Structure 1
Amino acid sequence: MKPGRLLFNRYSLLAALLLTAALALLYWAHTRAPDAETRYRTMAVTRGELTQLASANGTLNPVVLVNVGTQVSGTVKKWFVDFNDHVVQGQKLLELDPAIYQAQVEQSLANQANANSQLKLAAANEARARALFQLEYISRQELDVAVQAHDAAKAQLALVRAQLTRDRTNLGYSVIRSPVTGVVVSREVDVGQTVAASLQTPTLFRIAQDLARMQIDSSYAEADIGSIKLGQRADFRVDAFPSRSFRGIVKQVRLNPTTQQNVVTYDVVIAVDNPELILMPGMTAYVNILVAQRRGALLVPNAALRLRLAETRPARSASPSPPNGDSARREGNRGTVYVLDQGTPKPVRITVGITDNRMSEVLSGGLKENDAVIVEDRQPPAKPTTTGPRLF
């Protein structure tokens, strides 16, 4: 046999063997392909209770927190209360050095004595001038000068008395008293410290009026603020008591927005009762506000709503009207889930209501209780085949 023909027969045999191996491999892969029950993980549609919460972080604060300042400047001479002390309205909190204000009062007293003597002299001169005028010993102009001097002495005395009142008031302000009954949360000054009240009133103490009633100042995003109403229940936890849940009531939704990095939030104030006095100002509260609740709702897993299968496309046919009427139609969002129909995934369009981020309420659509919806595709997506460069 010629060498070229022998070489051709060998290549033909090798090609036949490779083709047979490829066909066998394809047959084996086809017979080993998982069935639908093995490939897809499903969960049943159930009925039950569903609660939707709006979550945010906040800070516990007293309902009334008074910043006690001073109207006069001076050096702290002595303080009488400290952190956590209970005080009553009018109780002495702190005393500034009164020496300067005491000297001003004494100066005003001296000025008052001088003004009194000037007034007495002016009154005597006026009386003498009137008597001389009756005897026609002086002119009318001289009498008018004496009357004017008497009136000026009266005005000067009134001015000095007002100055004395002001100085006595400043002397009284050197003693700081509590404006409310409550608990001292913080003390900002110490003995020997100088406080200046010329431009801005310095804070000396912070007093919480009633720690048995507190509030949470929390920031909610604008996406959640529409579902938060006054009187809604709010449950919260604090790091100090991780195993305990506390309850409050939405007291106020403030209209003033806060914008940070294009994120708009609103302050939601939650009233909290603290009869045990275990909640402290400044604690971080993790708040959940109950915005909606359903009982006996048809529930579908959120994983089924997030699933998208490449080999199927959602149907375009319109689903039936929501059973709850127009309000449900306005509240609901459209979604697609997949059910197995004779081993093949079939898309089903539904209308979704509230959610707790794990399950969602089904308002309408082609689902019913105990239907199995696909929540996971265990088979990884096929990798795209690579082809060589096109020559033509």
Structure 2
Amino acid sequence: MPGAPVSRRARQILAFVAVLLLVALGVAYLWNRTVRPVVRYTTVAADRGTVAPAVLSTGTVNPVTTIQIGTYVSGVIESISCDFNTRVSAGQLCAKIDPRPYQSAVDQAAAALATARAQLEKDQANLGYTTLVDTRHRGLLGRGFVSQEAVDTAHNAWAQARAQVELDRADVAQRQAQWRSARINLGYTKIVSPVDGTVVSRNVTQGQTVAASFQTPTLFLIATDLTRMQVDASVSEADIGQVAVGNEATFTVASYPQRRFAGRVLQVRLAPQTVQNVVTYDVVAGVPNPDLALRPGMTASVRIVTRRTDGVLRVPDQALRYRPTEARGQAGSSGAESAGGAHDRAAQVWVLADGAPRRVPVEVGLNDDTYAEVIAGDLDAGDPVIVAERAPQADARHAAPGGLAATRR
């Protein structure tokens, strides 16, 4: 039949293709059995050093003592003698309010005082006269030259004159107090610095009218000593229990990102501050500022060391979380973590030994989220602890026994 040769040839071609596929599958199987993926590990040597758990926060740099200078009297600012960054001493004039209205009040009070004193002198003279008349009438009454009514009238005039003198004396005291008050108000027109320090804020200009009411306006802000500063940091209620007076505190500011300033916690204030249902507490840390690099109002990124151990055996925190690929998914864990404090003591790390990971049970102490303190376990300083592994790579030329290879850092 004409179609028979074609069918025979087609069967031969199909058979040849099938053989080729079988050969390819066999070669791929043998290749896969011979060349295995190479697992590469990243290790870090266990070492001895410092483990210091810390609380992180943000705060504001402020002078230790800041004095607000206000005004007791109202008026127009006549002159200003202090400006921003001015060094002032106690008693130095910083501003002056127009004194003319207050000088006028002093003059009026002085005139009223003089009038009261003159009236007192007049009434004292009258008292002397009525005393003399009263005495004379008492003598004449015994000799029958005047009536009893005349004596009584003279005595009444004397009593009224004496009372008038006492009234005049009280009026003089009142006028004198008013005069002193007017002088005090006149003195308040000179606004002086009560302390030695530096002007960090000026809120008034020449010609401005200031009004002293129930809330005294702040004209100047004076920092007593800028060589000593403090950082007011807000610590959350979850971390405040770890912070105590005397804790080491370090911080950086945006102006000097590479410089770390050091100080200590001076105060942990008990008053809570609630903002959007978040409760924080103010922690005050003191810091020296001899070169005046720190300025009031700077934002600080604060790190408060709550505990510290030096010269202890430690491993990277990643080593406690690492587990080999073939061990993942099995029961157990690499150690419970706790931010800024101690782990659960039972943990494990994996050490690279002869190109293969070896499990080493350890007990850990403090953890600062970078290093964990090893307090017990078959681990020595210098042992290569595995912290990560790279993606497997097929490489027959570099295949290690068992299909494992390692890279250290």
Match of 1:276 in 2: 291
Q: Alignment partner for residue 360 of structure 1, among 372, 393, 397?
A: 372
Confirm whether residue 333 of structure 1 aligns to residue 344 of structure 2: yes
**One-letter amino acid of the structure 2 residue matched with residue 176 of structure 1:** I
Match of 1:91 in 2: 92
Using the size of structure 1 for normalisation, the TM-score is 0.76
Distance 1:244 1:346, change over 3 A: closer
Alignment of 1:93-108 (within 5 A): 93-108=94-109
What is the root-mean-square deviation of aligned Cα atoms in Å?
4.0
Q: Alignment partner for residue 151 of structure 1, among 166, 169, 181?
A: 166
Residue 153 of structure 2 aligns to a residue whose secondary structure is coil
Alpha-carbon distance in structure 1 between the residues aligned to 2:205 and 2:44: 68
Match of 1:325 in 2: none
Alpha-carbon distance in structure 1 between the residues aligned to 2:30 and 2:160: 133
Alignment of 1:25-174 (within 5 A): 34=37, 38-39=38-39, 41=41, 43=43, 46-52=46-52, 54=54, 55-134=56-135, 135=137, 136=151, 138=153, 140-174=155-189
Post-superposition offset of 1:195: 0.6
Alpha-carbon distance in structure 2 between the residues aligned to 1:263 and 1:368: 44
Match of 1:301 in 2: 316
Distance 1:22 1:374, change over 3 A: farther
Distance 1:225 1:20, change over 3 A: farther
Match of 2:147 in 1: none
Q: Which range moved further: 295-304 or 330-339?
A: 330-339
The superposition leaves residues 148-174 of structure 1 with CA deviations (integer Å, 9 ceiling, x where unpaired) of: 222111111111110110011001101
Alpha-carbon distance in structure 1 between the residues aligned to 2:322 and 2:239: 25
Distance 1:337 1:221, change over 3 A: farther
Alpha-carbon distance in structure 2 between the residues aligned to 1:233 and 1:281: 21
Post-superposition offset of 1:175: 0.8
Post-superposition offset of 1:42: 5.1
Using the size of structure 2 for normalisation, the TM-score is 0.73
**One-letter amino acid of the structure 1 residue matched with residue 374 of structure 2:** V
Alpha-carbon distance in structure 1 between the residues aligned to 2:196 and 2:89: 4
Match of 1:285 in 2: 300
Distance 1:365 1:286, change over 3 A: same
**One-letter amino acid of the structure 2 residue matched with residue 52 of structure 1:** A
| Alpha-carbon contact 2:51-2:373 (below 8 Å) kept | no
| Alpha-carbon contact 1:40-1:374 (below 8 Å) kept | no
Match of 2:8 in 1: none
Alpha-carbon distance in structure 2 between the residues aligned to 1:351 and 1:144: 102
The superposition leaves residues 94-131 of structure 1 with CA deviations (integer Å, 9 ceiling, x where unpaired) of: 11011211111111112112211221232223222222
Post-superposition offset of 1:66: 1.1
Post-superposition offset of 1:71: 0.5
Alpha-carbon distance in structure 1 between the residues aligned to 2:281 and 2:359: 39
The superposition leaves residues 256-310 of structure 1 with CA deviations (integer Å, 9 ceiling, x where unpaired) of: 2323344333322222222223322222333334444334423222223334677
Alpha-carbon distance in structure 2 between the residues aligned to 1:53 and 1:90: 48
Gaps of 5+ in 2: 1-14, 138-150, 336-340, 393-409
Alignment of 1:181-260 (within 5 A): 181-260=196-275
**One-letter amino acid of the structure 1 residue matched with residue 99 of structure 2:** P
Alignment of 1:7-18 (within 5 A): none
Alpha-carbon distance in structure 2 between the residues aligned to 1:95 and 1:212: 29
| Alpha-carbon contact 1:73-1:194 (below 8 Å) kept | yes
Alpha-carbon distance in structure 2 between the residues aligned to 1:271 and 1:340: 46
Q: Which range moved further: 307-316 or 137-146?
A: 307-316
| Alpha-carbon contact 2:43-2:388 (below 8 Å) kept | no
Q: Which range moved further: 122-131 or 81-90?
A: 122-131
**One-letter amino acid of the structure 2 residue matched with residue 293 of structure 1:** R
Match of 2:143 in 1: none
Identity of aligned residues (%): 43
| Alpha-carbon contact 1:132-1:138 (below 8 Å) kept | no
Post-superposition offset of 1:68: 0.7
Structure of higher RCO (CA pairs closer than 8 Å, 6+ residues apart):
2
| Alpha-carbon contact 1:45-1:299 (below 8 Å) kept | no
